[in-house]
Amino acid sequence: MTTSAAIRPIAPVTDPWLTLKEAAAEAKLNPETLRGAIARGQLRAIKVNGGHGPYRLRRSWVDTWLEGEWPNEPPEVHRLRRMR
């Protein structure tokens, strides 16, 4: 008995989804630091369960934010950095 659909091997995940806690651990930051960056629009994240569940982030999104290359940084963030 043969099937018409070929079985394909699963490709390795190069940019995995992370929970907020996993992303914070990889970045060596407090999860609240990431949560604040998400709230300010600095760090991209999605909420699962129709927007009511926990956050999920791509590893590349966290890397981009850590490297300071996120394009949509709000102006008030620049003011906060100058005051420090």
> Which residues, at least 6 apart from 68, have a Cβ–Cβ distance to it below 8 Å?
none
- Report yes or no on 81 lying in a domain: no
The residue segments making up the domain with residue 23 are 17-71
The answer as to whether 67 is a domain residue is yes
What is the three-class DSSP state of 79? helix
Residue 57 has pLDDT above 70, yes or no: yes
Residue 5 covered by a domain? no
Residue 4 lies in a domain: no
Instruction: Kindly indicate the confidence band of residue 52, based on its pLDDT and cuts at 50, 70 and 90.
Output: confident
* pTM of the predicted model as reported, rounded to 2 decimal places: 0.66
Beta strands in the chain (DSSP E): 17-19, 46-47, 55-58
Domain count, the chain: 1
* Residue 8 belongs to a domain: no
